[in-house]
Structure 1
Amino acid sequence: MQELYDRAFARLDRVAGKHREFARCWATYISAHPWDIDVRSVDPSTLEILAVMRQPAPAELALIFSEWLAALRASLDNAIYALAAAVTGQNPPPQAGSIQFPVCSTPDDFARQANRLRMLPQRIIEALEKAQPYQSPWGPESNLTWWLNELARKDRHRELHIGLGRVDEHRIRVAPPSDVTILFDENVMPYSHIEQELVVGRFTANRPLQPEEVTVDLTGVTIAPEIQAWAEFKLNGRRQPLDKRMAYTERFTRNHVENMTLMGGCVPPGGFRTIDPAEPEGTA
């Protein structure tokens, strides 16, 4: 059944191109400077600096992300179909219409999904269970495969995912009048996504101050892409930039596909990249 695996990897290989296309679309969008700076009074001597979105991200960005999601999720389903064909020696395999790569948040959910994979040997079911999101020590929502499944499901059945900007680097320069000293509020947490506007700085002066009296330079603030539905994700308790999340998701997905290829007694085109098997396992 090598050709079935080859097709799964062919789909997976298209993902990197979609990732690059996403980056190019984002670069074109921000080249038009879609955010402005506003300085507003909080009280007579306290001002806030805001990044304000003037032009939303284009629908094209969401469409490219949709295609990236779909290719990744489908490669998992293609690979487990190939695995079922390999271990049964049949194409189509038994119960072909019910075969789907399981992505589960609880053991009970996995048990239900495993019922649709009864054509697979128990050792393979057990291997699939070990890779489930509920096994993650930080919980299923810290697992990138869980997010891939969730984002792809919402993209298919609800709506495209909205692209946003997220403050990735933060360095603000403020030039007040010569007779004014200012103190920045260190409680402002600027590393966040911008839905409409975002406070990126707040400071208090030693006298009443009007916004037009200060000059603000935000050239040290870098705004990176973000997906609204994925913005709160943390990996091992820490936030990760979208670009890294996408790269990690691609690698983890390939790892799943390579493991299913190994369990089916086949080899990926170009060889294994994420695992180093001592020798191929038997097919059944």
Structure 2
Amino acid sequence: MTTEPFEAAWHRWERARVHMIEAVGVWNDFIADHDAFDFSLDGDGTGVYVLRVLQHRQVPSDLALALGEWLYNLRSCLDYVVWATASYVAGQVPPPNEGVLQYPIYDEESAWKKNQYRLKGLHPHHREMLLTMQPFNSDPDANYLGWINRLARIDRHRTLVTGAARIAQLDPVLQVPDKAETNLEWGERTVVDGHADVLRVTVRPYRPGMDVRVNPRVGIDPEIEEWSRSPFWARWPFDDRLKMIQVFVAGEIATYEYDCTGGGRKPDMVTEGFRAESDARRGPVSRLARNRRPVEWEPARPAKRSTRERFEGVDFPSHGAGPKDAAAPRTGQSSDNGWTRSQRRLCHWPCRCAC
């Protein structure tokens, strides 16, 4: 257990970034052969045409797995922030009542009020800071915390988030006969059930057999289908969204770390005004005490008699070691499940081994 508790939040943040990069690799492999998507322009015989994006292969489930791990680590970061802050308030690791501590993210004020007991280990100004960040105190759709929480809950408690494809760039060029006029209606941007109707074109005047063609000029990005329903976030390219949320979470860690310690990994992410407020109210920062549990001794029982050989460690470790190997001290031994077990016998003077 670390006595620098904000380090755990940064480790989770770094792990989230690893999974973000992993998701990029899964998507790039998926589209590398250029056969996952195709396009069609279908007319109904009246001068109305629909530009459709067709998906021939499902997005690999590994994309959803990587994005789910990304969400899990970011949500854990936030919980770690509250735990670390409570540790500094109490001056000990772990903090009191650590089992109820949680970073609050609520869409409704009633849920915030109902769960105030989860924040008793924090200073009043910490609770005010958390209150300001709540989705119910802003546009719930635009609030990044709200979406981290919603998507992480889906992945953690229900099923994988739905890896999908989204039309990130759409700049079609139409070829129509001279003197024909076109009206455009923009449609779906997320590919669902194998297709997306992205554009409807009406050509007037229309004549049967009219030659109408299109260069779709489409760019397709990965997507989380549930997230694509957000009017605010759907405007941003998927890669930009992930990077923005990584930055937002880093800012949250940096803010509470500076408030508690006067420093941290990324103090430059904290505004000068907030640093001045924190410095003014913060007392001396002392090293956190580690609160160890008392040892729980088992009931006493008589010891068994042994032998000189066992005292000298001749038969230890016994698993997988022959008589020749058993005479040398060991620092580790592979078990049947592949893990290495640390095993070592004490050496006595005179000892010339490299243990």
Give the TM-score normalised by the residue count of structure 1.
Answer: 0.87
The answer on whether the counterparts of 1:9 and 1:268 sit within 8 Å (CA) in structure 2 is no
Q: Could you report, residue by residue, the CA deviation over 1:222-271 in whole angstroms, capped at 9, with x for unpaired residues?
A: 11221100002244x98222222212211111122122212322532354
Please give the residue correspondences for 1:233-272 in structure 2 after superposition, counting only pairs within 5 Å.
233-235=230-232, 239-269=235-265, 271-272=267-268
Which range moved further: 254-263 or 90-99?
254-263
* Cα 1:2/1:266, change in 2 over 3 Å: farther
Partner in structure 2 of residue 194 of structure 1: 191
* Cα 1:153/1:142, change in 2 over 3 Å: same
The answer on whether the counterparts of 2:51 and 2:198 sit within 8 Å (CA) in structure 1 is yes
**Of the two, which has the highest radius of gyration?**
2
* Cα 1:283/1:95, change in 2 over 3 Å: farther
Partner in structure 1 of residue 227 of structure 2: 230
The answer on whether the counterparts of 1:83 and 1:261 sit within 8 Å (CA) in structure 2 is yes
Looking at both structures, which has the greater relative contact order when contacts are Cα pairs under 8 Å and sequence separation is at least 6? 1
Which range moved further: 267-276 or 226-235?
267-276
Please give the residue correspondences for 1:127-146 in structure 2 after superposition, counting only pairs within 5 Å.
127-136=129-138, 139-146=139-146
The answer on whether the counterparts of 2:75 and 2:149 sit within 8 Å (CA) in structure 1 is yes
Say which SS state the counterpart of residue 85 (structure 1) adopts: helix
Task: Figure out how many residues of one structure are paired with residues of the other and give that number.
Answer: 275
The answer on whether the counterparts of 2:185 and 2:199 sit within 8 Å (CA) in structure 1 is no
Say which SS state the counterpart of residue 231 (structure 1) adopts: helix
Equivalent residue letter for 2:254: E
* Cα 1:238/1:175, change in 2 over 3 Å: closer
**CA distance in 1: counterparts of 2:236 and 2:283, whole angstroms:** 38
**CA distance in 2: counterparts of 1:12 and 1:274, whole angstroms:** 17
Partner in structure 1 of residue 307 of structure 2: none
Partner in structure 1 of residue 124 of structure 2: 122
Partner in structure 1 of residue 165 of structure 2: 165
Partner in structure 1 of residue 71 of structure 2: 69
**CA distance in 2: counterparts of 1:283 and 1:152, whole angstroms:** 36
Which range moved further: 220-229 or 263-272?
263-272
Equivalent residue letter for 1:200: V
The answer on whether the counterparts of 2:166 and 2:190 sit within 8 Å (CA) in structure 1 is yes
Please give the residue correspondences for 1:12-91 in structure 2 after superposition, counting only pairs within 5 Å.
12-33=13-34, 34-91=36-93
**CA distance in 2: counterparts of 1:74 and 1:261, whole angstroms:** 16
* Cα 1:172/1:91, change in 2 over 3 Å: same
Q: Could you report, residue by residue, the CA deviation over 1:73-125 in whole angstroms, capped at 9, with x for unpaired residues?
A: 10111111011111011222111111110011222211222212212222221
Say which SS state the counterpart of residue 86 (structure 1) adopts: helix
Which range moved further: 121-130 or 68-77?
121-130
The answer on whether the counterparts of 1:35 and 1:52 sit within 8 Å (CA) in structure 2 is yes
**CA distance in 1: counterparts of 2:76 and 2:91, whole angstroms:** 22
**CA distance in 2: counterparts of 1:201 and 1:120, whole angstroms:** 53
Say which SS state the counterpart of residue 229 (structure 2) adopts: coil
Give the TM-score normalised by the residue count of structure 2.
Answer: 0.70
Q: Could you report, residue by residue, the CA deviation over 1:6-37 in whole angstroms, capped at 9, with x for unpaired residues?
A: 12112112222322222222122122331112
**CA distance in 2: counterparts of 1:113 and 1:29, whole angstroms:** 43
Runs of 4+ in 1 over 4 A off after TM superposition: 179-182
Displacement of 1:134 after TM fit? 1.4
Long gaps (5+) in structure 2: 285-355
* Cα 1:31/1:214, change in 2 over 3 Å: farther
Say which SS state the counterpart of residue 140 (structure 1) adopts: coil
The answer on whether the counterparts of 1:124 and 1:263 sit within 8 Å (CA) in structure 2 is no
**CA distance in 2: counterparts of 1:270 and 1:174, whole angstroms:** 50
**CA distance in 2: counterparts of 1:275 and 1:16, whole angstroms:** 24
The two structures, once aligned, show a CA RMSD in angstroms of: 2.4
Say which SS state the counterpart of residue 121 (structure 2) adopts: coil
The answer on whether the counterparts of 2:254 and 2:266 sit within 8 Å (CA) in structure 1 is no
**CA distance in 2: counterparts of 1:96 and 1:52, whole angstroms:** 51
Identity of aligned residues (%): 26
